[in-house]
Structures are given as C-alpha cells and as structure tokens.
Amino acid sequence: MTNSAYIIAAHRSPVIPKGGAFAHLQIHELAAPVIRACLNTANISPEKVGELILSNAVGAGGNPARLAALAAGLPERIGGLSIDRQCTGGLDAIWLAAQMVKSGTHDIVVAGGAESASRRPIRMRTFLDGSPPAPYDRPDFTGISGRDPDMITSAAQIAENMSVSRHIQEDWAINSHTRARSANFQNEITAIHDQNTDTFTRTLNTKTCARAPVLAGTITSATTAVDADAAACVIVVSARIAKSYPNAIRIIQGAMLGGTPDQPALAPLAAIQSVLDQSKIAAQTLQSVEIMEAYAAQAIIAAQSQSFDPKAVNKGGGALARGHAIGASGAILAVRLYHELQKTGGAGLAAIAAAGGLGSALILHA
C-alpha cells in the first residue's frame, strides 16, 4: 500500500440548470456544504485536512478554493489551490490530489470542482485603439487562428466524420434520462437549501427529440448538455489513513493530456488509452465507466473507442440528463464512479473532454 492514494468519501450537490434553484449561490456557497458532507461521512476533523484543490472555469477568478475552504470551516492555514482546465478540471483536481498524497506532501486532501453558470460574470475585452470594451462569452482556448472552433460546430463535424447519426445520438440521450430517472443518488447527493435532486432529468422520447432545435449538423438541444450549477468533492488520503476505512477505493492511474486543438471531442481517447495501458486493465473488465456527455456524439465516440460494455457506461445517466457544470463536471464523474464501485467492486474509469483539445481520464479500483 506504499505510495498509494485512496478516496474515502465522495459527495456532490444536485446539478441544477442555469437560472434554477441555485441561481443565487456563489461558487463557494455551492462547494462548502459538499466539502462538509465529505468530512462528516469520513468522520475527519477539518483540522486534519492538508489542502483543498478546487476546479472552476467560468467564475470571476481570484482563488475560489480559498473562499470555499473558509466557507467550509477548514483551518485558515489552508490557502486552497484553484485550477482551471475547463471541463476536465474537476477530474484533474482529484488526480493532482493523488499526487500530493503519493508524494507524502499531505495525508488528507479534499479535491473537486464547483461551478455557477448562473453567476457567471460578464467578461470584457479591451482594445489598444481606444475603442470601448466589448463583452465576450468565452476566451481563446488555442491562440491559433482557425483552430479554436465553436464547441457545437466541432462536435457536429466530428459526428459527421465518424458517422454518428442524429438517431444514434437521440437514442443515447433518451437512455441517459431513462437511467437517471431510475437511479438512486441518495448516498452521493448533498442537499443544499432543501434541494436534493437533479431537476433537469425528465422523460425523453423520440417525439420530444424530433422537436428539439438543431444547433449544428446532427447536434440538437436534446443531445447537448445544458449549462448548470453544481459542486462535487472527494477526500483523497494516504494508505496509512485508508486502512481504517473499509469503503476506501484506490486511485490506480490518471492522465491529463492535450490532443488536436480543434477536435476536443476526440481528446479523451488518448487519455483513456493511457490509463488502461499503464494500469494493465482491460476495458471490457471495467465494472463502471463514467463518460462526460457534453454532447451525445462525444460520449458515443469515447464509448465506442474501447468497446466498453454498454451496461457499464453511465449507469445512472450522464450530463445530458443533469446538466454540465463545467468546472465541476469531472468531479461529478468521479463521485458517480466512486458510488457505483461501492456497489459492484472491481475497477472503473471516468473520462472527460475540454475545449482546446484536452482530455483526462482516471481509473479507480474498489
């Protein structure tokens, strides 16, 4: 068990679409209850925590991890480490926490992500010619002209190139909602302000999919995740701490890779291959696979890349049935994976893509 890292608690908030029940909450107000829930589940005093790593993508900057640490009642010596790797950040925070623990820097690290699409600030671009500042929706993710496409446009092009039809995407989305509606998330969701369920999940069928507006190519609003507010965190600990927890799940391997900048939907494929190769775990033996569903097409391509058992993929549905809280989405995958492996044992994988051609993956083993 030397130089190993384990997860001993994992919780998330409900995922609420932008403008919904969490619209009045700041990032740290979403994260703090989830952090406290993790500590309570593990019966760990805040004073024993060595660090907090928190992903956030569309907030106002600064150091939201510090705000979350103070709001959660962690000791003032914890400065908090905020990271921004867009959609992959929540998963990356957990892998970074594992590295801190494996190196011996800390025995206990809280890691995850928090995002508020509702409180997203208005960003302004300035100009040297004296023109007034102009608002913009997203930053440049590559700095290369012509190689930073709109995410929907890129997903549509990749779906066409790889023959992922609208019908196939709609079937995936329907299945995502169906699985989410039948799943029990009681053990993983931390209620915030009496909200204890994912509110977007609904009965989706072929008729409602047929009426969904087309966004680009074969991509529709039914096969695209909505922007959302949420937080998710885990507690990562050393082998010395983990031996006191029968429910501890080992972090086997992680990968944070860059790929072709203008094909972000394909970026997770290399990360998935990397963690499988390094762990020497066969894809078909995985008990649970959590794949981000920013777009149905992207999730389908990732699932098909390794011929994962369809019954193992997104057992409780995915972001299409909940929403996409950008900086938190990777951590939500890890929380879902942790709780699924508590039921089945064995190994599981989480994978996610991000703008600019980033892909991350993580393997856990119960």
Average pLDDT, the chain: 96
| DSSP structure class, residue 356 | T
- From its phi and psi, is residue 317 left (phi > 0), alpha (psi between -120 and 50) or beta? left
Q: What is the pTM of this model?
A: 0.97
pLDDT of 1 higher than 80: no
3-state SS, 205-266, equals CHHHHHHCCEEECCEEHHHECCEEEEEEEEEEEEHHHHCCCCCCEEEEEEEEEECCCCCHHH
pLDDT of 2 higher than 70: no
Cα atoms found within 13 Å of the Cα of residue 271, Cβ hemisphere only: 32
Confidence of residue 345 (pLDDT cuts 50, 70, 90): very high
3-state secondary structure of 84: coil
Consecutive H or E run containing 304: helix 296-305
Q: Which two tokens stand for residue 197?
A: 């369920």
pLDDT in tens, 149-172: 888 999 999 999 999 999 999 999
Helices and strands, counts by H and E, the chain: 11, 14
User: What number does CATH give the domain 5-120+223-365?
Assistant: 3.40.47.10
58 neighbors 91 (Cβ within 8 angstroms): no
**CB-based contacts of 305, cutoff 8 Å, min separation 6:** 269, 272, 273
Cα atoms found within 13 Å of the Cα of residue 164, Cβ hemisphere only: 27
How far apart are alpha carbons 194 and 38 in whole angstroms? 18
- CA–CA distance from 30 to each of 197, 270, 316, 329 (Å)? 14, 32, 22, 14
pLDDT in tens, 181-235: 999 999 999 999 999 999 999 999 999 999 999 999 999 999 999 999 999 999 9
* pLDDT score, position 148: 85
Parallel/antiparallel/unpaired status of strands 5-12 and 228-238: antiparallel
pLDDT in tens, 238-296: 999 999 999 999 999 999 999 999 899 999 999 999 999 999 999 999 999 999 999 99
> Could you state, in order of their start, the residue ranges of all structural domains in the chain?
5-120+223-365
pLDDT in tens, 139-151: 888 888 888 888 8
How far apart are alpha carbons 20 and 200 in whole angstroms? 10
**CB-based contacts of 228, cutoff 8 Å, min separation 6:** 15, 16, 17, 18, 115, 117, 200, 322, 323, 324, 325
